[in-house]
Structure 1
């Protein structure tokens, strides 16, 4: 589907899955014929990709939390909107959603995409304030676009009243092809790995992703599965604390541009998140035909269906330990679950379907205003 609008994407971060999503969506929209800009913090390889692909980049240095920087962020975004003249504004995550909706207030077609509700990450009065804002702010967007049915449902349960749409996250299936015999060994050879059982955790090193829970159980994993290794792929604010624990068998690989070799090498992919919208890294693992172990938080159970891996209760180390040990100790089980997961992603999480749906939504909003 072609696009002719001028589209502005706004987000307070290009880190992790949200940044990848914005990059891939913006580049897809340029290919469809749209004139696309992003307002994001400066720096990073994703911005180089955007610029090379014909996307205009406006530096917008916003802090994730509300605070004294809010007036400055409002002024800067006002100037960006005036300079670019978007016909559609697509806001991603909580801070962009706050600043953008306060500024635009329905005067231009506006989509708010939470990528997991902000109030899930908060406690106490901060959570109450975030929830109150989402209840009020939802009226200032034409559509609230969710990446999972869980995200939509939980917004409604918490009193967020909006015109909701759900377009589940997807992956580029052409980039994550079905593995052939020998792919795991070849990937391990490229990475300098041996034949030991290997679990991989992909994601920002942050309390949301809860990599510390894996370090808590890893000595017991190795007691049950001798030689088992854990690779943490990513970077973030928890890196120093995780590294300081010096858990045997755990490697902090750091940030990488392309996870496919690590996914191919893995016996298992595990993500013990505290909250999610719908994890792109889990979808990529399933697209790579790898068994997954995840926690039962919004968006996860929709993806990890029966036979594709294990869904365990959050903050329950015994359940996490048992699920990881079972799959690291049984290669045939892991491979069978990987095939089931790949089939599910092919049927339900093709990125082309998601991006087609967003293009159709833009067209619908434009027609409403005429």
Structure 2
């Protein structure tokens, strides 16, 4: 069998199970009203939670740095590819209240690189079963540390697992805001377990940065609890791209020397770095964006008859179950001018497909109400609950 026949067979199998993927073509910015596959649709799929990707100040900052330093960085940070990166890392450390920071080209690369660098035969990773794929892949790719998966947010089981560990060191790994449900980890419980069992704590707060906490510092601000390593991204509420590890100076030095995703990767473009620096400044300069986002989150929950969580996040999960049915609902919404993606295996477990709604500060109340009305009718039509 040649490779074309092999891949076609695998693709056909996925299509029969309702798992075939389609890449949507955007010919506009990631705004609430976007041009998708040649149609103007009201979209609730973007992670540009504060609407910063089109902010004039970010566009100016990117252009200015590109003009001054070029579009490309020229190489890895340890050879030629560093310019304003160190300044961004200092500003990230200040923003989140950590001694140091390391900036990577993407959040995925950051998670894989950090976890792989910390892997050692003397370390056991303890991972929430609903963690993001980049965390999971970081643990799968490394060959040294043992990985133990604990049930989602079940800290009693985690306590038992930590008690029975056989290695001197342990790293607890969890999302801060879980990307498919919008639920938040209990940082108080995780910090207490880490302290009790002499373990380290790593939190990936990609979806909490810019959306959670009074000033957008994420779950660490909402809970006033800091992990040993905080992972975040610039590709969501900051409106740009790139990943970041917030940590101590010792950990930062270690990562810059031994995290292969940092050592052997071309560093991010000066355009990106300049835009991320400006995004941090805008979050502090324009706090009303976070206020508006929070108001929109509450409006969405009211409109769907849902109870908002104690820590509101911009992700709302509508459970469907069957993959084909989920695709049918998503297509029904699209037929009515609204884009809400169907999330299926392998992003979520088999037969646990969901509609995943993301809300932004740039949506209007009328747009949110339109979504709620259309989705409620769709759920009635297909006999689906809204909670």
- Normalised TM-score (structure 1): 0.31
Query: RCO (CA 8 Å, sep 6+): is it higher in 1 or 2?
Result: 2
- Normalised TM-score (structure 2): 0.30
Structure whose residues are more often helix by fraction = 1
